[in-house]
Chain A
Amino acid sequence: MLVLGIETSCDETAVALYDSVQGLLADRLYSQIAIHAEYGGVVPELAARDHIRKLVPLIRKSLEDSRLGLQDIDGVAYTRGPGLAGALLVGATMGQALAFGLAVPAVGVHHMEGHLLAPMLEQTRPHFPFLALLVSGGHTLLVDVAGPGEYNILGESLDDAVGEAFDKTAKLLGLAYPGGPSVAKEAEKGRMDRFKFPRPMTDRPGLDFSFSGLKTFTLITAREHEDDNQQLTDQIRADIALAFQEAATDTLLIKARRALQQTGYEQLVIAGGVGANKSLRQKLNEMAEQENISVYFPRPEFCTDNGAMIAYVGCLRLSAGESEGMAVAVKPRWKLSDLKPPGERKHKVKS
């Protein structure tokens, strides 16, 4: 079964073709980072306006890449949520229209399920069950992945997502958007023991996270070290970036280790954009060695938003007989734990 996957939940327009036998055949992405940079964050209306410009050309390029035609498509998958409503609607409407025009089924996919199962697109893949640490601009989750569609949230952020904390830290230090890569780059020049930031909620049991206090601590530290013109020296800026990154990644590490001990699982999968952070990767690799577990990092382009993961999950669900009715309905808020294994969802077709 050849599935076209469409992802438009935030600021990347992505299209991929996944075949149940041949695997991933095309994976195209257009990033809107440049558009949103001068606004200091994603502007939902501008994101939606750009998706509708880029989607048709990306679908055509994906078909060209795989030397396939529209008539070869057996099903269409699109991100149904969670995400920005206006952005989601572009991909969902396009997906449903294409499926109707091609007389094939369409299925709406949970964006975070895409991230959780993205490692299954790699040659070396984990086997179920495993623990997933999902870290992005919108989410910080520790998930017990028993099987496809069987997700138990073990811990999550009670306030800001870790990626959001990176973005806000970048903003207050005057670094470029998106914050993840720019804070990491700045941290390379920092001195390790100049500042010590708190590791929030690690001193008590449980697997939940909180990053808003760390963000405030970073802000206060920066204010205290500004000169009379409210400027930081380059060295202090780098020191703060490093102290923040150390605190954030240590916190993720401590909770991931705790979740592994609690579940007894021996495999840890990292997903989401913050998974690209080198310091985090290094710490998790060291832990994996100490604890004798396997840690799986999908390649960076599968960590961030992509169409491949949507096409993959869509293929699982379409193959199991799932499909949507004709009414297009996105879910900007949608809990992972509401999902069911492929084929178990009983869809009520409206009208």
Chain B
Amino acid sequence: MNILALDSSTEACSVALLTKQNVVEKFEVVGRGHAEHLLPMINALLKENGASIDDIGLFAYGSGPGSFTGLRIGTAMMQGLALARERKLIAVSSLAALASRQQGTVLSVIDARMDQIYHGLYRVQKNNSPELSGKISVSYPDEIDLPDSGNIILTGTGWDRYKDKFMLMKSADREITGIDNEYPHAADIARLALYGSGQGRETDPANALPHYVRNKVAKTMAER
């Protein structure tokens, strides 16, 4: 089954096509330009690989957490395509996609602004889907509970932003290894979607939503 995937959770924008043979990807750092770039990138990816939108059996999207607007652009794009083609969708965590590029104990961190980060701790084995330990949450970098010992790999835009703070978490038993300039990639979203579809995690486009994590976005009149 051919899978079309995208991720728009960070300043990066990527689309990927997974076929029986391989995975091909287009990747660009676009800042806030996801709306402008996504569909032209999808169109070019399909054309260059001799495929059409009719050939897609499953649509996969990086569900975040990350930029609220970026997530909605990616989600609405895939909702629209899946609705038009009458196909299912699958949500893949953008943090899991980041983790899947490493091996070992991985803390995926995406900048959440307001001095906070979204994070998830994963155990990643070769040729396997990353296994989340605990849950995905949002907090200040120094509030994160890291394992006491071993090597912890930090990856994602949160590492680039808060490198100094994370390096302070080094101890005699705990090693910190950071991966610079790393973003979630649609190719990894596509691969993880393939695992996910094996587990029956596809959903109808109406139920495919972003995973915001930060849900308190305004104060009610009573709270003010």
Interface residues of A (CB under 8 A from B): 38-40, 43, 45-46, 48-49, 52-53, 55-57, 59-60, 70, 85-86, 89-90, 92-98, 100-103, 325-330, 350-351
Contact-size category for B? 35 or more
Q: Is the CB of B69 within 8 A of A52?
A: no
Residues of B close to A45: CB separation below 8 A: 68, 217-218
Q: How far is the CB of A171 from chain B (nearest CB, A)?
A: 9
Q: How far is the CB of B56 from chain A (nearest CB, A)?
A: 9
Q: Is the CB of A70 within 8 A of B68?
A: no
Q: With A86-B69, A90-B76 in contact, do A43 and B218 touch (Cβ < 8 Å)?
A: yes
Q: With A45-B218, A89-B35 in contact, do A94 and B80 touch (Cβ < 8 Å)?
A: yes
One of B43, B53, B210 near A326 (C-beta < 8 A)? B43
Q: Is the CB of B40 within 8 A of A326?
A: yes
Residues of A close to B219: CB separation below 8 A: 39
Q: Is the CB of A39 within 8 A of B85?
A: no
Q: With A96-B80, A97-B77, A98-B84 in contact, do A48 and B220 touch (Cβ < 8 Å)?
A: no
Task: Compute how far the CA of A89 lies from the CA of B78 in the bound complex, rounded to whole angstroms.
Answer: 14
Q: Is the CB of B72 within 8 A of A52?
A: yes
Q: Is the CB of B221 within 8 A of A39?
A: yes
Q: With A46-B217, A56-B205 in contact, do A101 and B72 touch (Cβ < 8 Å)?
A: no
Q: How far is the CB of B197 from chain A (nearest CB, A)?
A: 20
Q: How far is the CB of B28 from chain A (nearest CB, A)?
A: 12
Q: Mark B80-104, 1 if CB is under 8 A from A, else 0.
A: 1111111000000000000000000
Q: Is the CB of A52 within 8 A of B84?
A: no
Interface check B38, CB cutoff 8 A: yes
Residues of A close to B78: CB separation below 8 A: 97
Q: Is the CB of A89 within 8 A of B218?
A: no
Interface check B212, CB cutoff 8 A: yes
Task: Compute how far the CA of A95 lies from the CA of B43 in the bound complex, rounded to whole angstroms.
Answer: 16
Residues of B close to A327: CB separation below 8 A: 35-37, 39-40
Interface check B138, CB cutoff 8 A: no
Task: Compute how far the CA of A49 lies from the CA of B209 in the bound complex, rounded to whole angstroms.
Answer: 9
Interface check B10, CB cutoff 8 A: no
One of A39, A86, A101, A325 near B84 (C-beta < 8 A)? A101
Q: Is the CB of A93 within 8 A of B40?
A: no
Q: Is the CB of A86 within 8 A of B79?
A: no
One of A39, A89, A101, A102 near B220 (C-beta < 8 A)? A39
Q: Is the CB of B69 within 8 A of A89?
A: yes
Interface check B206, CB cutoff 8 A: yes
Chain A binding surface SS class: helix
Q: How far is the CB of B83 from chain A (nearest CB, A)?
A: 6
Residues of B close to A85: CB separation below 8 A: 69
Interface check B17, CB cutoff 8 A: no
Q: Is the CB of B68 within 8 A of A56?
A: no
Q: Is the CB of B73 within 8 A of A98?
A: no
Sort A-B residue pairs by CB-CB distance and give the 9 closest, nearest first. Answer: A101-B84, A97-B80, A328-B35, A93-B76, A326-B39, A56-B206, A327-B36, A98-B80, A43-B218
Q: Is the CB of A86 within 8 A of B39?
A: no
Q: Mark B152-195, 1 if CB is under 8 A from A, else 0.
A: 00000000000000000000000000000000000000000000
Residues of B close to A98: CB separation below 8 A: 80-81, 83-84
Q: Is the CB of B84 within 8 A of A48?
A: no
Task: Compute how far the CA of A85 lies from the CA of B68 in the bound complex, rounded to whole angstroms.
Answer: 12
Q: Is the CB of A101 within 8 A of B35?
A: no
Residues of A close to B42: CB separation below 8 A: 100
Q: Is the CB of A55 within 8 A of B220?
A: no
Task: Compute how far the CA of A46 lies from the CA of B75 in the bound complex, rounded to whole angstroms.
Answer: 16
Task: Compute how far the CA of A38 lies from the CA of B53 in the bound complex, rounded to whole angstroms.
Answer: 43
B88-147 contacts to A, CB under 8 A, are: none
Task: Compute how far the CA of A129 lies from the CA of B44 in the bound complex, rounded to whole angstroms.
Answer: 45
Q: Is the CB of B35 within 8 A of A92?
A: yes
Q: How far is the CB of B42 from chain A (nearest CB, A)?
A: 8
